[in-house]
Structure 1
């Protein structure tokens, strides 16, 4: 608004003794001038789709599978583009080089999270993964996670993981039709055992079933395109609950998760009170609560964030891995030949064997590329202006790391929509040989900057052990159910996670000898019975 015009208007007000009409006229004029800039893209912002007045790109933002539209826009506008959602700027980065500069090198300035009314309604600010870095919850939580994931702790956790994977293999042997649920049970049981000291032996009506029900709802709550812009258009926050499905969704999610994590926390408190310690991680947090400076809610939230990071993503990866095998029999056969050559017929694969199976590593890397679990990651927010390629990223922008777009860029990947582990045999990152490798690293799927997944080491062990075990023990094929495709139509929506829909397949042991070895290992892992509720 021109200063001269402002002075003129206020002079008129003074002359008219501050008449109500004049004040109203000024307010209307100011509102009109303000609205002229809402939804518009500044000239030094990254390019992007054409905006409309006030709304900007609000009507263009995809309501499901946003990574598909982001990939399309990245092909048109380049490795960085911008969107305007009312008065908020959204930045999407779609190259390893952009990730390196914006999120890695500037991690201290781009590591915050968007404020979300719905997330706050679900978590009451107790979930560190969705809180800003200056929040004590994030600082305390980050320190607590690192103590859980020290090298010594990981070695201690390995025994628990191996026992659970023995149970997993036995489940497939005895009940192959329910492999999808077996994966969910295993992923949840590993984390609940380590965190809370009790195992999950069956999926139905268990903590595992409740956990996955709650986490799927949370993914829907946090899906950036699935709900009205509650955070940007404040009147929506006051819509009565009976008319606001997003409030009902948030409340249902909160109730399920609060009941789950509250009961698990209480279980640990009882173990401490009765001196029946299991040695689990939440017990150690509770006993050292004062020293750590953590509240009860922070400890409960710590358990929740570690469950979400360790169980959900592991399950989605393993499900996508099975889908890759049943849809690409030649890949399965080549992986089986490699594990047979390294391990032989008389022993199980061990974690040290993973360095000797480059093709199986390539299969795992291709699963992470082809169906990365978090295709647009959890968005970041910058606390100060950041520049990239001469473009300005204004303070308080929402920044999406378009991991799917990076991994499916035809300029970097040959036939990116094809599942092909051979690409990781040819080059370290699976890219074309002449592609610019700036910013590439083998853990882009685990995030960036200050928000990179701290549980990567543990997740890698899940990948190592299970990919080898499954290829060593079973033949996987499609059945007649019509489920188990590898296309996006076989993946659930909405949600920020790219997780397969439930499927069935045919899973048979590769030999009678291996079937017996699975039974024997299972019996050794649980000599006191599988229903034992103690740590190993």
Structure 2
């Protein structure tokens, strides 16, 4: 064969390969605009290793309401409630999927919030909607009220440990609902182990925790000696499995002893062997309640307490409102919430000012979609820039200022003339078919504790050795999926002896609720309960 007949196809193949590689990172002209790309990587080299939400917001200023990043197939960033509504809320079937995440499949394939859309996800979500429906959450209110009473009592005893008291509240509540167990103190083996797992999760799933495994799958095959993340992932997987199977064993023993308590996991254990549930899935399904409900609620309440310390004029105004409605002879109840518009405004402003999930969990688009003249291709990953939405100067006056009055002046806290199409108060709980089924339980926890804390305590800045107030740095946060404030100092004092008397009485009365969740306490925990 003449050499030219061989060389020509090879040259053509080489040219095709070079063009193909070059085009891998380029942005198609019908995609939304975005930062300049480079061959192969596209925009992968620009992905920040920390505080992703801040870079998202900078790109929002440069490229507008919707922009694209060429990462893998492609990534779309939505920066307005209008676009979220048009793409995610109105096209729920096409946006119900999550992008594939290798680490989720490796560590906990039963992670429902990040699970791919399919029959298993639908069945799990149906189960969660049953136990966490609005009607079901009414039955959990007495337990929430009792645990909130202990939180106030804990603050009376050890106000300096407020961070751990809040964590105990949220964890004990979810453990009781899910496993029929409560934690009368933070130094509980299950809570301690849970927060170890959570911190490890937040680190490895946060920006920079691993190389871009889902963009460049070949990285999964790098030997462990050169891939520290593999060692971390193995440790997390081991901790996960040990914790959830130990908790399942407690429930199984209770069932075998004929001492059912009526918790969620007892029902799930009954489903084992049917509806697609084996022992693995039953053990891990309880993790979803803990991971979704414990950390998030405690972080919101920690932010709330820091705001009430940093902005005393806001706290005092809220206390005046509560005093007029509740008085000092009793503590607040859920029935008081609707009569406290300024307290409601404070909670809305906390969510706006420091949203705990600044870039909401991503969706995966499964149909080619045209929005605002741009094509959102099938297979695209879609992020909601929740931080950018809440700090948009076009929508909010002085967005970097904590000001609950904005929600007194308008329904969504927005400035006059702002485009509120698609805007809603519960966007922080997700969109479409991926909205959080535990929303009502979380909202009720925030309500009762916010009212209680304002009613019962003053929060003031701590002072240094010279008597100078120590300011709270509201930008001092950890790096991870959740926007978590680093521990800060404040001075917490009860508002009066009358308030103290009521708090002590509430805690004593809560014993009637607690006893049904205390059958498996350790000896040291029983001594702790008896002492206090």
For normalisation by structure 1, the TM-score amounts to 0.92
Cα separation, 2, equivalents of 1:12 and 1:509: 95
Match of 2:114 among 118, 130, 149: 130
- Asked if 1:75 corresponds to 2:58, the answer is no
- Is 2:445 aligned against 1:459? no
Structure 1 residue aligned with 2:268: 285
Which residue among 63, 66, 80 is the counterpart of 2:52?
A: 66
SS across alignment from 1:508: strand
Conserved 8 A contact 1:137-1:298:
no
Give how far 1:34 is off: 1.2
Matched, 1:474 2:460: no
Displacement, 1:174? 0.3
Question: Which consecutive residues of structure 2, in runs of 5 or more, have no partner in the other structure?
Answer: 521-532
Task: Give 1:312 deviation, angstroms.
Answer: 1.3
- Residue 430 (str. 1) matches residue 413 (str. 2): yes
State whether residues 230 and 237 of structure 1, in contact with CA within 8 Å, keep that contact through their aligned partners in structure 2: yes
What are the superposed Cα offsets for residues 192-223 of structure 1, whole Å, 9 maximum, x if unpaired?
A: 01100111122135311221221222222322
Q: Could you say which residue in structure 1 is the equivalent of 2:300?
A: 317
Deviations 1:44-94 (A, max 9, x none): 100111111221111211111100011111111111111112x43111001
Offset from partner CA, 1:210-257 (integer Å, 9 cap, x none): 212212222223225543211121221111112212212222221222
| Equivalence for 2:498 | 513
CA contact (8 A) 1:40 1:53 kept: yes
- RMSD of aligned residue pairs (Cα, Å): 2.2
- CA 484–289 in structure 1, closer or farther in 2 if over 3 Å, else same: farther
Q: Which piece of structure 1 moves more, 277-286 or 93-102?
A: 277-286
Give how far 1:415 is off: 0.4
Aligned residues: 517
Residue 477 of structure 2 is aligned to residue 491 of structure 1: yes
2:100 to 104, 109, 115: 115
Distance 1:13 1:165, change over 3 A: farther
| Cα deviation, residue 169, structure 1 | 0.8
Contact kept, 8 Å, 1:322 with 1:476, in 2: the verdict is yes
| Closer/same/farther in 2, CA of residues 24 and 121 from structure 1, 3 Å limit | farther
Q: How far is 1:25 from its partner?
A: 5.4
The whole-number CA distance in structure 2 between the counterparts of 1:12 and 1:469 is 89
Shift in Å at residue 468 of structure 1?
Answer: 0.4
SS at match of 2:492: strand
Report how far residue 144 of structure 1 moved.
0.5
**What does the per-residue CA deviation read over 1:439-492, in whole Å, with 9 as the maximum and x for residues that have no partner?**
11111111111111111111110111011000000001121479872422x211
Aligned residue in 1 for 2:528 = none
Match of 2:38 among 36, 43, 52: 52
SS of structure 2 residue aligned to 1:305: helix
Partner of residue 526, structure 2: none
Structure 1 residues 492 and 483, CA, compared in 2 at 3 Å: closer, same or farther?
farther
- Pair 196,528 (structure 1): closer, same or farther in 2 beyond 3 Å: closer
Partner of 1:6: none
Q: Give the secondary-structure state (helix, strand or coil) at the position aligned to 2:28.
A: coil
CA distance in 1 between counterparts of 2:517 and 2:26 reads 61
Where 1:37 maps in the other structure, the secondary structure is helix
Gap change, CA 1:484 and 1:204, over 3 Å in 2: farther
1:197-208 equivalences in 2 (<5 Å): 197-208=180-191
Matched, 1:296 2:268: no
Give the 3 Å change call, closer, same or farther, for CA 398–258 of structure 1 in structure 2.
same
Structure 2 counterpart of 1:395: 378
- The 2-side partners of 1:249 and 1:518 are apart by 44
Paired with 2:399 and 2:515, the residues of 1 have a C-alpha distance of: 43
- Give TM-score scaled by structure 2 length: 0.93
What aligned pairs does 1:334-349 form with structure 2 within 5 A after superposition?
334-349=317-332
Give 1:131 deviation, angstroms.
1.1
